[in-house]
Structure 1
Amino acid sequence: MDLWAQGSAPGDVNLTQLQQEPCVDGWSYSKDIYQSTLVTEFDLVCHDEWKQPFTASVFYAGVTCGSLFSGELSDKFGRKPILFATMAVQTLFTFFQVFADSWILFTVLLFFNGLGQMSNFVAALVLGAEILTGHARVMYSSLATNSAFALGYMMLPLFAYFLRDWRGLLLGLAVPGLAYIPMWWLIPESPRWLLFQGKVKEAEAIIKKAARWNKIPVPQNTFDQFVVPEKEQEKAKKNYSVLDLFKTSTIRITTLNLFFIWFIMFLAYYGLNLNTSQLHPNPYLSCFISALVEIPAYTCSWLILRKFPRRASIIAALCVGAAPLYFIQLVPKDMPTLALIVEMTAKFSFTAGTCFMFTYTSELYPTPLRNTATGTCSMMSRIGSCVAPFILKLSVFLKFLPHITIASLALFAASFSVFIPESFGHPLPETMEQMATRERIHCPCQRKKEPIRTMVPAEDPL
């Protein structure tokens, strides 16, 4: 088409008013950085460009569903079976995606891939938190699990650099899943879950095996004093569900507050992560730097969780993360490095806060609901991650409006954190009654309940 057919000068041409025609001869894509991507494979451009963000949304939809249902299944059938089942789902569907010959098939398989992606993380987190005790549990649920996530995140651009074809990259991500097969015989079931199910002998066998591995005297009759009252035995046979997170007013208030805090914490984390992801023109290096900055945040969170109350730590993370976002608009335009440092300070705080939330939630809820609660809260965090890109779009109205919005929501969430019970220095609760009697800030007009006798002796063997 001749752009100058109307005889206008080049400066007078309005390209938006020119007639356009679709590309009928296909597309030629640059291979300077990538050999093949989903976009180049299935031509997700022009009128099909909407499929790019939709593909990510489908994946997060799978993650959301998996987080919700896997927690309930884990509380019903055990931590270990669900952990390995979700690992198998993620590995198998990642492998199946390699052979997808259409965008629709790839997207369907991606949804099922998402079902296992966050579910195995939550199952592993809860399983380790219930096996370990004291500082070992805090270190595992904060530093170990999250640093492992960051390490995998850092390895992703390395894989992508050498495997520049999307099918080869997926195959490279699927094959390591086979390494989990021999771990079935190494990782035990949660003794706490077994005890709640009345399987005392099996729980005892795990403790004795651990003692032999650590070359310490094997405890005898570890759970002789552990007597489950008849009322609790009936409850153990009950199939708990998400609805039990709202059963009583005390648990309902805690659950709703946690939902909101998880939502805001991860909205802030993913919002800043997306906004600071282009740290370098090289996409591989940019991805690596984005992952690298999380290591010191997770280390800091572990040190804080060892010494400080959980509730205060959450409030501090939200407030410290909000403050730089208010001041970033005061940074001169000719100092982009300073603006980046200010924004990364906020990301550091929110990253540590996400680590706090996993540890805090696993310590608040009783054994029959621990995985359900953590998985459901994780589902709320995924909704926050889906909302984050839309918050960033507010910059079209005002450049720093996304920062102001995230900071204001963070301060609002900090005010809700005050009313969640403290878990620092307390053993993991085993029953709903134990959770209900946790220390919390009460309304002056609310009468505190008398402590309820628990099913676990004062000296918790776990």
Structure 2
Amino acid sequence: MQDYDESTAFLGSWGHFQKSVFFLLCASILPNGFGAFSLVFLTDIPSHHCLIPEVNLTQDWHEAIIPIEVVNEKQELSRCSRYKLDVVRNLSAWGFVPGRDINVTELEQESCMDGWSYSKNIYHSTIVTEFDLVCSEQWKQPFTATVFFLGVLVGSFFSGLFSDKFGRKPVLFATIAVQTVFTFAGIFSPSWTVFSIMLFMSGLGNISNYASAFVLGVEIFTGNVRVLFSSLGICLSFSFGYMMLPLFAYFLRDWKSLLLGLSVPGLLSLIFWWFIPESPQWLLSQGRVKEAEDIIRSAAKKNNVEAPQVIFGDTTADERQAKKNYDLLNLLRTTNIGSTVATLCLVWFSLSTGYSGLSLNTSSLHSDPYVSCFISAAVEVPAYISSWLALRNLPRRLSVICILLLGGVSLYIIQVVPQGLSNLSIALEMLGKFAITAGTSLMYAYTAELYPAMLRGTAVGMGTCVSRVGNCVAPFLLQLTFYFKNLPNIILGTLSVLSAFATFFLPESFGRPLPQTIHQMHKREK
């Protein structure tokens, strides 16, 4: 069978058909930018201290009943303890004045028996304030993000397999529907456990539809349009959605309203079902030649060009069966390809851990979390533009190596920045975010270019699945700042440098057509 790009060359690369599919696929990605990091606001921990019930205390004792603690060399009110209320009430009734008659630091302390008082300067409510995920329950706060990314992990694994088995289009819209429905359902959660279940289910669809849309576009577009879509188009759509997230969160400051606002764009995306076609390359890999030709003929009409009488021809039953018999396990049994899979997994894991860790850490960049989130999102725009330029002009392997080294070195340098130069530390952290974001964009295109159509969805799904392990680890990695402030950056930098060296052993795909068969992939590995 003739190469797909050659067979469809008569369509042109940027007609009405390609334009409509390009922008609709990009629009379907916007909700992922909302959903992936909405946890920054949904799970943020406002300032809080023990709630003091309405008891007869003097103003002095009201102000002194919460102990003062030193956290990160700063004095602040204790979040998890208060001086024993019965003792304080008696001292207040007897007329003792704290600091003058009584040294309050010698008084016995107790836990927050009556709950907590949360600051509403930034948020009206988050799931932390709703379900009291503080003090002894604070482990649930980072674990909430891990639950979401566990859902993303499971969804990425199965969506890749289903995409290769049932088609790109059904999986794309099924995962959009899952993400939308369970995001909305989370509003009605009566407990943290139920909310976590809804979040896990929402995670099944999140990013899975991103991967499906990515593979669908890569297989429909050709030439420079394919590069434009796989680097700039789909990635910038995610980034624009991400940049809109702080705007949503700013005006919807309670967690239920925010979830409602985030579910609406996904609902609108379901309308695209009637305008986005199935991948002709996937149909061909299944031997469904007539259906593939029908899509191309419809595209030819939209582009006002005439299609040849025979576009793809046909494949023999033996060829079809040979294609259908291959799966990822077959590839892992081959030494050369197995080592490529292992290397790709390491690079995906490192990039995803770094991307999630730096993105979830945005609340520490600036005193205003909305500004922090926007900065973190905005830095992705030049990152994606850089990855697009690299995909157009530079070898894939060299690009990934350089970007990983840039990310690793910038995160290492943060350790030697003087404490007074906080802006320089933020700049270096954002340089690391820039590099890791660009690397992630490169890896989507690089991975897709290494595999044939019958395994491309599984391969990209495998990469995203492995990367979600990094997503699950990232929230707890950030907790290591309790032991050493820069420890997360050191770990992320080390992963980036190790992955850069591992990338030396990947095959090159720059300037080569997409492999159509397992045999072509084997030749590229040698």
Q: TM-score when scaled to structure 1?
A: 0.87
Residues 245 and 373 of structure 1 are in contact (CA less than 8 Å); yes or no, is this contact kept in structure 2? no
**Which residue is 1:163 aligned to?**
252
Question: 1:51-70 alignment to 2 at 5 Å?
Answer: 51-70=140-159
- Compared with structure 1, are the counterparts of its residues 188 and 145 closer, same or farther at alpha carbon in structure 2 (3 Å cutoff)? same
Distance 2:245 2:520 in 1: 42
- Compared with structure 1, are the counterparts of its residues 276 and 159 closer, same or farther at alpha carbon in structure 2 (3 Å cutoff)? closer
- Compared with structure 1, are the counterparts of its residues 161 and 12 closer, same or farther at alpha carbon in structure 2 (3 Å cutoff)? closer
Computing the radius of gyration from Cα coordinates, the structure with the larger value is 2
Report the secondary structure of 1:20's partner residue: strand
Distance 1:403 1:44 in 2: 26
**Which residue is 1:422 aligned to?**
508
- Compared with structure 1, are the counterparts of its residues 321 and 11 closer, same or farther at alpha carbon in structure 2 (3 Å cutoff)? farther
Structure 2: give runs of 5+ residues left out of the alignment. Answer: 1-84, 92-97
Q: Pairwise CA RMSD of aligned residues?
A: 2.4
How many Å apart are 1:119 and its aligned residue? 0.8
Q: Match of 2:515, as an amino acid?
A: P
**Which residue is 1:206 aligned to?**
295
**Which residue is 1:232 aligned to?**
319
Distance 1:401 1:29 in 2: 29
Residues 72 and 242 of structure 1 are in contact (CA less than 8 Å); yes or no, is this contact kept in structure 2? no
- Compared with structure 1, are the counterparts of its residues 412 and 358 closer, same or farther at alpha carbon in structure 2 (3 Å cutoff)? same
Q: TM-score when scaled to structure 2?
A: 0.77
Between 109-118 and 266-275, the greater mean CA deviation after superposition: 266-275
Report the secondary structure of 2:110's partner residue: coil
Q: Match of 2:217, as an amino acid?
A: G
Report the secondary structure of 2:241's partner residue: helix
CA-to-partner distance for each residue in 1:20-76, whole Å, 9 max, x for gaps?
Answer: 14424x444333322222122222233332222222211111110000011001100
Distance 1:416 1:198 in 2: 37
Residues 131 and 192 of structure 1 are in contact (CA less than 8 Å); yes or no, is this contact kept in structure 2? yes
CA-to-partner distance for each residue in 1:315-362, whole Å, 9 max, x for gaps?
Answer: 111112122233333333332222222222222111100110111111
How many Å apart are 1:372 and its aligned residue? 1.0
Distance 2:136 2:461 in 1: 37
Question: 1:276-315 alignment to 2 at 5 Å?
Answer: 276-315=362-401
CA-to-partner distance for each residue in 1:387-412, whole Å, 9 max, x for gaps?
Answer: 23444444455544433332232221
How many Å apart are 1:434 and its aligned residue? 1.3
**Which residue is 1:457 aligned to?**
none
Report the secondary structure of 1:222's partner residue: coil
**Which residue is 2:458 aligned to?**
372
Q: Match of 2:471, as an amino acid?
A: S
**Which residue is 2:279 aligned to?**
190
Distance 1:119 1:32 in 2: 36
Distance 2:373 2:361 in 1: 12
Structure 1: give runs of 5+ residues left out of the alignment. Answer: 441-447, 449-462
Distance 1:248 1:200 in 2: 30
**Which residue is 1:129 aligned to?**
218
**Which residue is 1:85 aligned to?**
174
Query: Among residues 133, 137, 143, which one is paired with 2:232 in the alignment?
Result: 143
Report the secondary structure of 1:89's partner residue: helix
- Does residue 327 of the first structure (1) align with residue 327 of the second (2)? no
Report the secondary structure of 2:420's partner residue: coil
Residues 211 and 219 of structure 1 are in contact (CA less than 8 Å); yes or no, is this contact kept in structure 2? no
**Which residue is 1:386 aligned to?**
472
Distance 2:131 2:168 in 1: 39
Distance 2:503 2:138 in 1: 41
**Which residue is 1:95 aligned to?**
184
Query: Among residues 131, 148, 160, which one is paired with 1:71 in the alignment?
Result: 160
Distance 1:314 1:250 in 2: 20
Structure 1 vs Structure 2: percent identity of aligned residues?
A: 53
- Compared with structure 1, are the counterparts of its residues 403 and 43 closer, same or farther at alpha carbon in structure 2 (3 Å cutoff)? closer
Query: Among residues 336, 343, 357, which one is paired with 1:271 in the alignment?
Result: 357
How many Å apart are 1:255 and its aligned residue? 0.6
- Compared with structure 1, are the counterparts of its residues 407 and 48 closer, same or farther at alpha carbon in structure 2 (3 Å cutoff)? closer
Distance 2:178 2:359 in 1: 27
**Which residue is 2:15 aligned to?**
none
CA-to-partner distance for each residue in 1:416-446, whole Å, 9 max, x for gaps?
Answer: 11111111111111222211111x5xxxxxx
